[in-house]
Structure 1
């Protein structure tokens, strides 16, 4: 698999920034991920991310760490944090930026360690891909949690991206799948990634999936645009 995301951030880290990441989605929208934004400091982070970082406790696993901005902030605050990503370029970038504990692996292949906080930011639950995979995901993260551990994650309800009808209802195409399952492809310079699914979960669906798998779930805060921060724990 071509590590488009990792190549872009590693280029930026090494001073070779010239282009941003372009994303193509099944919503027929072309969008841009500005690479410098992935290197933001605490003050530039959205309030939801700031709140999540303040709520961290004990040992932290930063799942889908990207360029490592959250891990670096926590490390500077004295937390014992492990940055995990399935992008080789991302994990190399984290090391170059000074993150002390970095793991290059898929979350499902990560075993044997337990943490007090699992952190999944920038729509971190997206790694689940499709709603049908939530049970597999929840069952696995149970094995990574110390007694009393918490999961902090943010996501968005993308219902706003669909057309409203005259009665104020929303017209969602009947594809047979959950409307938050979006297929993406990334491009950086002349390279394109394979297509992959990324999951956007509205809070009610997250809460139902969490409770069905033995987790408590609480809405911590709503963001500025259909996004939210949630806290989960094992009942």
Structure 2
């Protein structure tokens, strides 16, 4: 069931009647406004704009969605490929003029190498769980050309937990990393299967990179516990 892709197709076809609802293990109900998934460069948050400005060479946009980042880079003359597991998302990308697309999960893709890999809108979340982050990073590393880079943004969601008087945070299930979240999406009364999504604080990401032979540089911090990081192979 491609809920995300169907929502993108509906919006692109001028059949926009509702947004995607999300339910998470953090006991929160939220929504993903479909117009935001079709934003242009001027509407993107500063972290995304900065990442696109830092892109070089041949680019892979992982979890490309409706193709916003790819279309921007195409216009700038970059050879850019949009990859997404959603068939509907890839169809929308093609309809919008994205020249190179791949309809696969990133862990199933190994056909080419790139100078820049983008994982925006918390694309590192595709790793699912902290335990799997090393495997995920190593696969990304295998897709990099020499001197290539990975640009990703994520958030430290510690702020979502109650804080003690001594400044510590009360995390109900301390056995798991607090950035591991389970999501379910709903669109037009259809619900997706639950899936894991990872939010990783910068220090944890940096430690994971060091353990897997990668450099991790903080490029810029956002206004709300978010950040943009640049990863590269350790020389």
Provide the residue aligned with 1:85 in structure 2: 84
Provide the residue aligned with 1:135 in structure 2: 134
TM (norm. structure 2) is: 0.98
Provide the residue aligned with 2:168 in structure 1: 169
Deviations 1:161-191 (A, max 9, x none): 0001112221112341100000000000111
Provide the residue aligned with 1:152 in structure 2: 151
Give the Cα–Cα distance (whole angstroms) in 2 for the partners of residues 184 and 175 of structure 1: 19
Secondary structure at 2:56's aligned position in 1?
A: coil
Provide the residue aligned with 1:197 in structure 2: 196
Give the Cα–Cα distance (whole angstroms) in 2 for the partners of residues 134 and 143 of structure 1: 14
TM (norm. structure 1) is: 0.98
Provide the residue aligned with 1:25 in structure 2: 24
Deviations 1:135-160 (A, max 9, x none): 11112112211000000000000000
Deviations 1:40-64 (A, max 9, x none): 0000000000000000000000000
Pairs within 5 Å for 1:59-74:
59-74=58-73
Give the Cα–Cα distance (whole angstroms) in 2 for the partners of residues 123 and 222 of structure 1: 14
Give the Cα–Cα distance (whole angstroms) in 2 for the partners of residues 81 and 93 of structure 1: 16
Provide the residue aligned with 1:109 in structure 2: 108
Corresponding residue pairs, total: 234
TM-align CA RMSD? 0.7
Provide the residue aligned with 1:208 in structure 2: 207
Provide the residue aligned with 1:34 in structure 2: 33
Give the Cα–Cα distance (whole angstroms) in 1 for the partners of residues 79 and 157 of structure 2: 34
Gaps of 5+ in 1: none
Provide the residue aligned with 1:231 in structure 2: 230
Gaps of 5+ in 2: none
Secondary structure at 2:27's aligned position in 1?
A: coil
Give the Cα–Cα distance (whole angstroms) in 1 for the partners of residues 184 and 83 of structure 2: 22
- Runs of 4+ residues deviating >3 angstroms: none
